[in-house]
């Protein structure tokens, strides 16, 4: 049984699911326009002041995380949860979906 976040992360990485979820997240963020919005925010922030990349990251990181659509967060959470449950024997593919 996977009890800690580190155990869960290690299992996802070992199974290759981590990379699959990372690619899914990237795809969904591109599809919903989030990537373009963050690029625009970075350009606007950079124009307004002379800052380093680290300063720019600190400025934009919190705002951009808050801009991730709830539907994208929910989809990824559901898929990760299903993967962890299935890998631990708590989820049976043969059960009918309701």
Q: How many CB atoms lie within 10 A of CB 23?
A: 10
pLDDT at 94 (0 to 100): 58
Handedness of CA 66, 3, 9, 74 (dihedral sign): negative
pLDDT at 27 (0 to 100): 97
Domain chopping of the chain, boundaries: 12-86
pLDDT at 91 (0 to 100): 64
pLDDT at 66 (0 to 100): 94
Cα angle vertex 48, ends 35, 41, to 5°?
Answer: 10
Query: Helices (H), strands (E): how many in the chain?
Result: 5, 0
Coil, strand or helix: which one is 65? helix
pLDDT at 98 (0 to 100): 47
Cα angle vertex 20, ends 87, 11, to 5°?
Answer: 35
Q: What is the pLDDT along the chain (98 residues), one digit of tens a residue?
A: 457 888 888 888 888 899 999 999 999 999 999 999 999 998 888 887 788 889 889 889 989 999 999 999 999 999 998 888 888 777 665 555 54
Q: Which fold has domain 12-86?
A: Serum Albumin; Chain A, Domain 1 (1.10.246)
């Amino acid at each position: 049984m996977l009890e800690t976040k580190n155990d869960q992360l290690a299992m996802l990485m070992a199974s290759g699911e981590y990379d699959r979820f990372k690619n899914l997240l990237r795809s969904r963020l591109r599809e919903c326009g989030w990537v373009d919005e963050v690029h625009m925010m970075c350009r606007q922030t950079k124009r307004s002041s002379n800052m380093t990349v680290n300063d720019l990251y600190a400025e934009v990181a919190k705002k951009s995380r808050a801009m991730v659509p709830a539907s994208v967060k929910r989809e990824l959470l559901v898929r990760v949860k299903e993967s962890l449950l299935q890998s631990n024997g708590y989820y049976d593919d043969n059960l009918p979906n309701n």
